[in-house]
Amino acid sequence: MSPNASDAVGRAERRDTAADVPRRRRTPVPVRQAVVLSGLAVGAVVVSAASWAGTPVTVGNVGGMVVVGLSLGAIYAVSASGLVVVYTTTGVFNFAQGAVGMYWAFVYWELRVNRGWPAPVALALVVLVLAPLGGVLLDRAVMRRLRNLPLVLQLMVTVGLMVAFMGIAATQWQGDRGRTVLPFFGHTGSFEVIGVTVTWHRLITILVAAAIALLLRLLLFRARLGVAMRAVVDSRSLAALNGANGEAVSATAWAIGSSLAAVAGILIAPESQLVVDVLTLVVIDAFAAAAVGRMRSLPWTFAGALLLGVGQQFIRRFLSFDDGFANMHEALPTILLFVVVILLPQAQLRARGVSAQLARRTLRLTDVKESTVGVAALFMLVLAWTGGTLPFTDAWSSVGINRGVTMMVTAIIMLSLVPLTGWAGQVSFAPLAFAGVGAVIFAKITGDTGSAYGLVLAAALTAPVGALMALPAVRLQGLYLALASMAFARGFELLFFTQTAVIDPNRGGRQFAPLSIGGWELTGTGRGYLLALTVVFGAMVTGLVALRRSRWGRRWVAMKDSEAAAATLGINVIETKVAVFVLSAAMAGFGGALFGLQVGTLNVLQFELLVGLPIVLLLVVGGVSLPAAALFGGVNTVLFIVIKDRWDYSWLSALEVLGPGIMAVVMVLNPAGAVAEIGRGFARFLPWRADARAAYAAEVAANREPEPGELGLSRPFTAADMVATERALSVANELARPGHDGAAAAMTVERPAP
């Protein structure tokens, strides 16, 4: 072959290779996105045409939609910007962002309305002083400790803070009393532009959002602090080598995030009711806007927020839905969030490091024999408690039995998260949504007969819903999967449970007959039902213990540690994920059917997202990977209520409000969970746990001898310390001589020549 021909072949091969690379790397994602977006556009047009309310398309109507939509979108943009700034700087996604904004909105109301302060003074004090200080306090007390913790713990700490802020506001201001905040310049402050009425408050809202966008841009790309913030995002250690103070950057980010949350809460308060739940749920809308910006792009975040606000106003002004879809405008942020996370590129498999705090101690696996003994002891305890042979003699009353049933049903629903989140590492906020599906299925199939087969059918028919949730999990990991599960739960709350064919709000009386098992009839609030639930819970715990030691349990744990390593070992990651979602949904559906038997009648409020978050929180506090943590969570759902009924102390009310925040701090200090620590403390008293007694003895012995690194720093030298140090360093040969003092020997040892 001639040289020219050879060169031509080489050029052709290089062209082929260069042409193949873009096709492999870029073609699948744009095609998939184009198909999904095209389908959504066609679906939106079809739904709009079918639901058109007949409102005339005039300049006034369209202009009003745009003005109100941009104002609402501007508020979403401000809140989402705080999320993005904090997340990109510290790596912590703050689920409490909406609750923080809600709290500072109430503080503004207290100053502006209740105490009569001038609006500029109250606004400046809240936004520029109190909110930033609160953000710095949160960072120093809790947030900076989250950096090396697993994602589920990071998210649950912020969820705990969210619930704490909601409890504080509800207690301090009793936030359901219809308080209102007047818009800036009052209701009469407005002007007209081409026939469109524009209030000063909405104009100020849009201008404030634009100013914040400009200031954030200048801060991040022109100021030295902003450059340090972006450098810390890329590599905290390298930024520190170049003089960036990571702690100061983190505190600044939380101060900015808290201040922006306060601005969003104050701006939206006149547009909605000053109610704790309403203002807190604004954060869901901010999640959608932040997801559009991929949690890092402020321009795209603002664009997504404005699109969201205008879209909501379009639905409210021009479309009309029946009662089942009356919440469509509220569901739009959830739909957008779910669509955005679906359109994200597929998460690449990568190895994950193990948290240093979690790596200190390896949890011992419980075997089936120990589990059987434990659940038998639990059954005997419940039997004695309900029989009146233990203290608190009113425990077997109808109220006490009902609380015990609540405890057990909640624990069974919590168990569904143990394999999903605890073992497989798939963060989910939707256990209550699956439980609701199971309750509805049981009510529709055998609710009027109480047949026990309905429980099995509820679990079996809820499992495919779990497979549906597994679809985004196949492509997503970490935070985006958590957001997808939240959108899933919120969507079921707003669009599924509101259907009359699913839950009829006008139906009176009980929807569930007593449970019939072999001729026995168990009412949902009777002692027999509580004992049956205890048996069911014990069987499920023992089954999970056996499953954890099986091939599937090891698969899920391996996938949690590293999906890349699991795939390298030949584990089918997709199959493994789908299997754990199906199992978790079936367990939650089973628990939901049991819940339906207890309450008798279903309603939408029972399956709200905010009701389900404490269930996840309590399980994580107990230790999400341990089945016994479900019992811990179930007990804590009713324990405080029982204590308050018995002892009416004022400090108990404060503890109830601050409890979730305290739990958040406990999770930071003890990532393994409370159950692990409790079990570790009691294990040495069990006759068959010689290993625990030996470990305890070794720990006590180790605590008696000082660590060499502590001497001279946190504790002074003594002669005994020097002897222990010489022994630890294996230089105690001088001690062998009779009458020789170890400390003196250490001081007279000859130094080697340099």
**How far is residue 377's CA from residue 385's CA, in Å, rounded to a whole number?**
12
Q: Phi and psi dihedrals of 194, rounded to 5?
A: 45, 45
Angle CA 668–671–676, to nearest 5: 135
Q: Give the pLDDT confidence score for residue 356 in this predicted structure.
A: 42
Question: Can you tell me the mean pLDDT for 442-461?
Answer: 89
Question: Can you tell me the mean pLDDT for 356-384?
Answer: 76
| 3 state DSSP class of 522 | strand
Question: How many domains, in total, are found in the chain?
Answer: 3
Q: Give the pLDDT confidence score for residue 130 in this predicted structure.
A: 96
Q: What is the pLDDT of residues 491-523, one digit of tens each?
A: 999 989 988 888 887 776 667 888 888 778 888
Residue 299 has pLDDT above 60, yes or no: yes
**How far is residue 668's CA from residue 157's CA, in Å, rounded to a whole number?**
8
| One domain for residues 600 and 722 | no
End-of-domain residue from the set 256, 280, 304: 280
Q: Which of 37, 43, 468, 490 is nearest to 285 (CA)?
A: 490
Residue 25 has pLDDT above 50, yes or no: no
Q: Phi and psi dihedrals of 671, rounded to 5?
A: -65, -25
**How far is residue 672's CA from residue 329's CA, in Å, rounded to a whole number?**
41
End-of-domain residue from the set 259, 280, 301: 280
The 10 Å Cβ neighbour count of residue 287 is 29
- The answer to whether the CB of 419 falls within 8 A of the CB of 630 is no
Q: Looking at the domain assignment, is residue 8 inside a domain?
A: no
Q: Looking at the domain assignment, is residue 488 inside a domain?
A: yes
End-of-domain residue from the set 610, 643, 665: 610
Spell out the alpha helix ranges (H) of 269-389.
276-280, 282-292, 298-318, 328-343, 368-387
DSSP state of 79: H
| 3 state DSSP class of 204 | helix
**How far is residue 361's CA from residue 605's CA, in Å, rounded to a whole number?**
41
- The answer to whether the CB of 209 falls within 8 A of the CB of 74 is yes
Mean pLDDT of the chain: 80
Question: Can you tell me the mean pLDDT for 565-583?
Answer: 91
Q: What is the pLDDT of residues 118-156, one digit of tens each?
A: 989 999 999 999 999 999 999 988 888 887 788 888 888
Question: Can you tell me the mean pLDDT for 593-618?
Answer: 90
In terms of DSSP bridges, do strands 196-199 and 190-193 run parallel, antiparallel, or are they unpaired?
Answer: antiparallel
Instruction: Write out the residue range of the structural domain in which residue 257 sits.
Output: 60-280
Q: Looking at the domain assignment, is residue 358 inside a domain?
A: no
Q: What is the pLDDT of residues 153-208, one digit of tens each?
A: 888 889 888 888 988 888 888 756 667 888 887 767 777 777 778 888 889 999 99
Q: What is the pLDDT of residues 420-434, one digit of tens each?
A: 999 999 989 999 999
| 3 state DSSP class of 474 | helix
Q: Looking at the domain assignment, is residue 514 inside a domain?
A: yes
The 10 Å Cβ neighbour count of residue 641 is 13
Buried b (16+ CB within 10 A) or exposed e, 397-432: eeebbbbbbbbbbbbbbbbbbbbbbbbbbbbbbbbb
Question: Can you tell me the mean pLDDT for 202-231?
Answer: 86
In terms of DSSP bridges, do strands 190-193 and 520-522 run parallel, antiparallel, or are they unpaired?
Answer: unpaired
Copy the structure tokens of residue 639. Answer: 């324990």
Q: Give the pLDDT confidence score for residue 21 in this predicted structure.
A: 37
DSSP state of 61: H
Confidence of residue 24 (pLDDT cuts 50, 70, 90): very low
| One domain for residues 92 and 189 | yes
| One domain for residues 72 and 186 | yes
Looking at per-residue pLDDT, the higher value among 397 and 95 belongs to 95
Q: Looking at the domain assignment, is residue 241 inside a domain?
A: yes
DSSP state of 367: P
Looking at per-residue pLDDT, the higher value among 275 and 357 belongs to 275
| One domain for residues 276 and 371 | no
Q: Round to the nearest angstrom and report the end-to-end CA distance of the chain.
A: 70
Q: Looking at the domain assignment, is residue 299 inside a domain?
A: no
Q: Looking at the domain assignment, is residue 551 inside a domain?
A: yes
- The answer to whether the CB of 520 falls within 8 A of the CB of 455 is no
Q: What is the pLDDT of residues 241-285, one digit of tens each?
A: 677 777 888 889 999 999 999 999 999 988 877 888 888 887 667
| One domain for residues 267 and 374 | no
Q: Looking at the domain assignment, is residue 722 inside a domain?
A: yes
Buried b (16+ CB within 10 A) or exposed e, 565-587: ebbeeebebeebbbbbbbbbbbb
Confidence of residue 475 (pLDDT cuts 50, 70, 90): confident
Confidence of residue 737 (pLDDT cuts 50, 70, 90): very low
Q: Which of 305, 267, 273 is nearest to 289 (CA)?
A: 305
Q: Please tell me the pTM assigned to this model.
A: 0.83
Q: What is the pLDDT of residues 154-163, one digit of tens each?
A: 888 898 888 8
Question: Can you tell me the mean pLDDT for 414-421?
Answer: 95
Q: What is the pLDDT of residues 50-70, one digit of tens each?
A: 888 888 888 888 888 999 899
| One domain for residues 267 and 405 | no
Residue 650 has pLDDT above 70, yes or no: no
- Which residues are CB-contacts of 192 (< 8 A; sequence separation ≥ 6)? 198
Q: Which long-range contacts (CB under 8 A, 24 or more apart) does 550-559 make?
A: 552/576, 552/579, 553/419, 553/423, 556/419, 556/423, 556/424, 556/580, 557/423, 557/424, 559/424, 559/425
Task: Tell me the residue type at 555.
Answer: R
- The answer to whether the CB of 69 falls within 8 A of the CB of 229 is no
